[in-house]
Structure 1
Amino acid sequence: MDHGLPDDHTVRAALALAVRAPSVHNTQPWRWRIADRSVHLYLDPTRALPSTDPDQRDLVLSCGAALHHLRVAFAALGWSAVVHRLPNPAQPNHLASIEPVRHRPIPYEIELSAAITRRRTDRRPFSAWPVPPGYLGLVTERAATLGATVRQAVDGSRDCLVEAMRAAAERHAGDPGYRLEPAEWSGRHDGVQWSDEAHESDCAELLVLSTSADHRLSRLCAGEALSAVLLTATNIGLATCLLTEPLEIPALRDRVRIGVLDDYGYPQAVIRIGWAPTSAETLPATPRRAVEDVLDPFDATEAAAC
């Protein structure tokens, strides 16, 4: 970049943190382009999972998380991000244009940026220590600022959610097409090992992140809110795990919408949140593609249409 905007080292440092974002089944479905005054985020359709995610909801959600990671990274490096979401109707995979503006970072932004490299998807059972209501309130507030609602599943709504997770696991176990896709990803150097993530018997809190609409923009914003929840939780010492399996089957997603959200809003993600056991070992970082592997040349003609 030039004209007083971040130098290439700063931009690449921010992108290196952005690609640490969580993605469903670790698909990492993002592509980035760097222009003189902006950074552009694109969805990579070649990373799609047709059986698992036929409408690409999970892919857009994952890209939203990467977008928020980039904003957090830029803020800690001294650059606020002006974001234009879905800037080009003719290019639906062009998800965001990000314009950095000089900014003095505050401690909270630096702390969230530091949490990016510490965050892990923790599928292990959590301890019985309760999560303070204030902590749950904080992650709820952070999600709300990005246009999403977080609902804690308790009592009957928790039973509904756990049953939906169990039903999804059983249905997918008998679906060869669904089972093949995660198996293909787990065999790649950048894939994720497929495992049962429900752990309904442990002491985790279950949070459902939802939006008032269910179009591409709302799913992108849901991903940003998801990132805010996960990084906030990491920053205050909580362990987290993103779950989407019960939301990948339309009938079960409707069941969660009715049974947990009282037939209001659209569930976009389920988050297990709690305390890892004090004796638990530190989890290794999940492999990610290098920044160079997700960068494309900038297309000025395409940008002119935005």
Structure 2
Amino acid sequence: MAKTSRHGTGLSADLSADLSAAVSDALRAPSVHNTQPWRWRIGADRVELHADWTRHLPWTDPDRRDLMISCGAALHHLRVALAARDLAIRVRRMPDPDRLGHLATITVTPGDADPAMAALYPVIEQRRTDRRRMSHRPVPRHLLRECAQQAEHQGAELIAATAPAVRERLEAALARGAREQQVAPGYAAELALWTARYPGGRDGVPAENVPAAPTDLLEPSPLRRFPRARLSQPHQSLNKAAIRGGAELLVLVTAEDEPLDWLRAGEATSAVLLTATRAGLATTPLSQAIETSVSRRELRHSVLRVSAYPQLVVRIGWPASRAAELPPTPRRDLGSVLLTH
């Protein structure tokens, strides 16, 4: 390979440091229960993304949809990190039909990086999953449009449940889906496993990042209930307006419902979360809404009434005025996720 610049017709002489650093940035992507279900292979001019099936949650995520969405979010984070390093790339998704765990190959190519992708890079370290109550301050419509445009660029559609009737149907569907899941055999044990990791662990959901749900809640909440919660939040009354605040519920949908669509939905999720974070908004991916076939059908046919397929619900809103900065959730280091053969 010619040892020339990144631009024009050649590539840089040594990409290994940039590729390794970009993969390290991609490890900050959100994933279901912070399972981080990905493995990576770094070559001379490319990176491969592989699913780590050993981190699949069979009771929470029976069809591996959450796992694929999580890997799609990591793929988008990688693309952002490479663009920030002024690297143009080509992405082949699901490149090998005989190896379904090989999700993408990202190859560095001559040319200019995508400046819109690079602009999202500074907030990779800032983004958090914020499960606390949010401010009553409404989210401006122009920010909702910007998030929708970002999702569209990644091959998905973002539907805002802003109409009161749609919002009511969505919240009711989320609550029913949560009740159905809570009585499923194995679900509670699986949730406890990933929220009570061993000391010094680098995955799972720490109790310090989860606020306790009030025991006398007057209205259903769209948020998943975790068995361990130590995060404090400002006291508020427990009526529907206080629970909801000014947060918006957005549903990511795709035209089809195959593994490639789940991967694309994950890329769109990352784009929406980073865009919202850059605007100063708090964000919460709500994967529980799509983890049972009943709740997915209800979202599609009774709530949204669309032909597209729901893949994820995202809650966005302004942080509460007295909300403290959230600590980062743990991540495995690069050496723990690299494939060497």
Q: TM-score, normalised by structure 1?
A: 0.92
Mapped to 2, the partners of 1:255 and 1:2 lie a distance apart of 55
The answer for the alignment partner of 2:60 in structure 1 is: 52
Mapped to 1, the partners of 2:204 and 2:175 lie a distance apart of 24
Match of 1:275 among 318, 323, 331: 318
The one-letter code sitting in structure 1 at the alignment partner of 2:273 is: L
Mapped to 2, the partners of 1:65 and 1:109 lie a distance apart of 13
Q: Is the 8 A contact 1:140 1:229 kept in 2?
A: yes
The one-letter code sitting in structure 1 at the alignment partner of 2:339 is: D
Match of 2:167 among 152, 158, 161: 158
1:113 Cα offset (Å) = 0.5
The one-letter code sitting in structure 2 at the alignment partner of 1:36 is: A
Mapped to 1, the partners of 2:47 and 2:113 lie a distance apart of 20
The answer for the alignment partner of 1:178 in structure 2 is: 187
Match of 1:202 among 244, 260, 271: 244
Structure 2 residue 63 is matched with structure 1 residue 20: no
Structure 2 residue 293 is matched with structure 1 residue 293: no
Specify which structure has the higher proportion of helix: 1
Structure label with greater radius of gyration: 2
**1:239-260 superposed Cα distances (whole Å, 9 cap, x missing partner):** 1000011211111110011133
The one-letter code sitting in structure 1 at the alignment partner of 2:299 is: V
The answer for the alignment partner of 1:303 in structure 2 is: none
Q: Is the 8 A contact 1:29 1:48 kept in 2?
A: yes
The answer for the alignment partner of 1:191 in structure 2 is: 204
The gaps in structure 1 that reach 5 residues or longer are: 299-306
The one-letter code sitting in structure 2 at the alignment partner of 1:74 is: L
Structure 2 residue 264 is matched with structure 1 residue 221: yes
Mapped to 2, the partners of 1:106 and 1:58 lie a distance apart of 28
The answer for the alignment partner of 2:298 in structure 1 is: 255
Give identity over the alignment, percent.
46
Mapped to 2, the partners of 1:51 and 1:109 lie a distance apart of 35
Q: Is the 8 A contact 1:30 1:41 kept in 2?
A: yes
Mapped to 1, the partners of 2:119 and 2:175 lie a distance apart of 36
Match of 2:51 among 39, 43, 47: 43
Give the SS at the match of 1:276: coil
The one-letter code sitting in structure 2 at the alignment partner of 1:198 is: P
Structure 2 residue 106 is matched with structure 1 residue 82: no
1:2 Cα offset (Å) = 9.1
The one-letter code sitting in structure 2 at the alignment partner of 1:118 is: Q
The one-letter code sitting in structure 2 at the alignment partner of 1:297 is: T
Mapped to 2, the partners of 1:288 and 1:246 lie a distance apart of 25
Over 3 Å counting, the alpha-carbon distance change for 1:107 and 1:39 in structure 2 is closer
1:8 Cα offset (Å) = 2.0
The answer for the alignment partner of 1:265 in structure 2 is: 308
Q: How many residues align?
A: 298
Over 3 Å counting, the alpha-carbon distance change for 1:2 and 1:172 in structure 2 is farther
Q: Is the 8 A contact 1:75 1:103 kept in 2?
A: no
The answer for the alignment partner of 2:19 in structure 1 is: 11
Give the SS at the match of 1:296: coil
The one-letter code sitting in structure 2 at the alignment partner of 1:182 is: L
Which piece of structure 1 moves more, 31-40 or 226-235? 31-40
The one-letter code sitting in structure 1 at the alignment partner of 2:174 is: M
1:27 Cα offset (Å) = 1.2
1:140 Cα offset (Å) = 0.1
Q: Is the 8 A contact 1:242 1:272 kept in 2?
A: yes
Q: Is the 8 A contact 1:65 1:225 kept in 2?
A: yes
Q: Is the 8 A contact 2:83 2:115 kept in 1?
A: no
1:11 Cα offset (Å) = 1.1
1:187 Cα offset (Å) = 2.1
Mapped to 2, the partners of 1:228 and 1:264 lie a distance apart of 23
The one-letter code sitting in structure 2 at the alignment partner of 1:231 is: L
Mapped to 2, the partners of 1:263 and 1:24 lie a distance apart of 26
Q: How does 1:92-111 map to 2 (within 5 A)?
A: 92-104=100-112, 108-111=116-119
Structure 2 residue 135 is matched with structure 1 residue 127: yes
Q: Is the 8 A contact 2:88 2:109 kept in 1?
A: yes
